[in-house]
Amino acid sequence: MPDQPLPAKPIPAPARPAGRVWTAGTLTYTSSALVVLALYLLLGDFAYWMRERSAAPVTQLMLKKFGASDMITGLFLLTIPGAVLLVVGPVVSYWSDNHRSRWGRRIPFLVVPAPFVALAMIGLAFSPTIGATLHGWFGGDPAGSRWAVLVVMGLCWTIFEIGVIVMNAVFNALMNDVVPRELLGRFFAMFRAAGLIAGVLFNYKIIGHAEENYTLILASIGVLYGIGFVVMCLGVKEGSYPPPAPVPAHSSSPALNAVREYFRDCFTKPYYLLVFVFLALANLAFMPVNTFGLYAAKGYQLSMETYGRYLVVTYICSFTLAFPLGWLADRFHALRVGLAALLLYAVFMLVAFFYIHDADSFGHMFLAHGVLSGCFFTGAAAVAQMLYPKLKFAQYAGAGGLVAALCNMTLGPALGGLLDGLGNDYRYVFLVGSGIALAALGIGGAVLYRWHRLGGQAGYEAPA
């Protein structure tokens, strides 16, 4: 008999890790791998929030110390970041989405700016000394050096914001790429908790000394931020991505073609335009009180220690609510949770305008502002991740940032000028916040309606 061929041996399937497995793109996580990912991301997020909690309030106190008006404060804290975002955000987000390297498409854009942000914070810390020295070199009267100090602060703040905006454009995109989608709400709640811990530490222990020790505070947190963020970037690994869409052969200018593709993708779809405007207005609603609340506290004769204690209470409340809100976002969708928080905020801030008359009443409504804005920031943290296309997340987030930048650039000097004209009556920041929240609610309702039409909680697919 002729030899019979031996039956082919089946090729064994790749061994899967024991226990439950989560995936994010080409990445696969066991429970222990998820814990390691969370720890690295939390380290970076904690450093991020220590920078976020400290830079703006300490800079505000420095601005007031050197005689800046509310309009200049608005230019610093809202208009300069908005202008930088307008230029830098779309370029970085589009570039990151289409970048491929052995380090991934996000990590290079996070690790490179980190030292520059740290150095800019150190420059801010020493700007009074640098400004006075430069003023003296050019023969100026030492008694009139405040404008030189403000100019140095403005240059350092601009460099700081360029680095921050590059990293902000990509940090959320990194989390969108490496965190399993079914855990996004809880991960963002965890990051929010890290931010709240950073806020408690800063406002309980540090802010009371900020007027006298701003140099030490800004320089120390700048170093902490630079080290923490770089360590996170070295520890988090990205997966593989499909190749970016090729540039058409007939294109005479690849750069011009990229601009056309960016604006065609992001700004020709009415649904995403609504999302951009909703997120811009929703985040803008909290900016009036966040930007001028510190000045309001001083106007009502609150010490910085007492102001810090109020903030600590709001952070503790928000920390307690963070994980329930994250669960609600995963269970009912972050958009719904965000809209509920906005409604409550609009009502309470309208009440605040009529209720505030002394330090105690200001403290009560400032607490309400802190807790309700915290509910929005935690509950709605994953809205963009849940609504934007995954593969082009950064460029859609950058496009939304463009809309937000235009709003911030307008609000900063306008609100500052209004307050200067009203004799610095800071009750009006609560009224303006309420009005913007109501506008955001109207746009958010339209987004919710279209989200339902696109599949809702069970079957939503981001439209291409």
Closest CA to 91 of 405, 394, 389: 394
> At which residue do the structure tokens 């937000």 appear?
404
321: amino acid identity, one letter: L
Query: Is it the case that residue 2 has pLDDT exceeding 50?
Result: no
Q: What is the pLDDT of residue 443?
A: 95
Q: What is the pLDDT of residue 322?
A: 81
Q: What is the pLDDT of residue 274?
A: 94
Identify which has the larger pLDDT, 7 or 282: 282
Query: Is it the case that residue 409 has pLDDT exceeding 80?
Result: no
Average pLDDT, the chain: 83
Please list, in sequence order, all residues whose beta carbon lies within 8 angstroms of the beta carbon of residue 105, skipping any fewer than 6 positions away: 96, 97, 98, 99, 177, 238, 241
pLDDT band at 413 (very low <50, low <70, confident <90, very high): confident
Q: What is the pLDDT of residue 214?
A: 84
99 in Cβ contact with 105 (< 8 Å): yes
Closest CA to 226 of 148, 317, 121, 315: 121
Task: Please give the share of the chain, as a percent, with pLDDT higher than 90.
Answer: 17
Query: Is it the case that residue 176 has pLDDT exceeding 60?
Result: yes
Domains of the chain, residue spans: 42-237+253-457
Tokens describing residue 262: 């960016």
C-alpha atoms less than 13 angstroms from C-alpha of 44 in its C-beta half-sphere? 24
Tokens describing residue 151: 């100019």
User: What CATH number should be reported for the domain whose range is 42-237+253-457?
Assistant: 1.20.1250.20
Query: Is it the case that residue 442 has pLDDT exceeding 90?
Result: yes
Query: Is it the case that residue 12 has pLDDT exceeding 90?
Result: no
Q: What is the mean pLDDT of residues 236-261?
A: 70
- Write the secondary structure of the chain as one string of H (helix), E (strand) and C (coil): CCCCCCCCCCCCCCCCCCCCCEEECCEEECHHHHHHHHHHHHHHHHHHHHHHHHHHHHHHHHHHHCCCCHHHHHHHHHHHHHHHHHHHHHHHHHHHHHCCCCCCCCHHHHHCHHHHHHHHHHHHHCHHHHHHHHHHHCCCCHHHCHHHHHHHHHHHHHHHHHHHHHHHHHHHHHHHHHCCHHHHHHHHHHHHHHHHHHHHHHHHHHHHHHHHHHHHHHHHHHHHHHHHHHHHHHHCCCCCCCCCCCCCCCCCCHHHHHHHHHHHHHHCCHHHHHHHHHHHHHHHCCHHHHHHHHHHHHHCCCCHHHHHHHHHHHHHHHHHHHHHHHHHHHHHCHHHHHHHHHHHHHHHHHHHHHHCCCHHHHHHHHHHHHHHHHHHHHHCCCHHHHHCCCCCHHHHHHHHHHHHHHHHHHHHHHHHHHHHHCCCCCCHHHHHHHHHHHHHHHHHHHHHHHHHHCCHHHHCCCCC
Query: Is it the case that residue 298 has pLDDT exceeding 90?
Result: no
pLDDT tens-digit series, residues 318-347: 888 888 888 888 888 889 999 999 999 999
pLDDT band at 449 (very low <50, low <70, confident <90, very high): very high
Find the range with the poorest average confidence among 204-208, 310-314, 455-459. Answer: 204-208
pLDDT tens-digit series, residues 178-218: 888 888 777 877 877 787 788 777 777 777 777 778 888 88
Q: What is the pLDDT of residue 445?
A: 94
pLDDT tens-digit series, residues 140-163: 666 667 788 888 888 888 888 888
For residues 219 and 412, give the distance between their C-alpha atoms in angstroms, rounded to a whole number: 26
| CA-based torsion, 305, 306, 310, 316: positive or negative | positive
Backbone angles phi, psi at 23, to 5 degrees: -130, 150
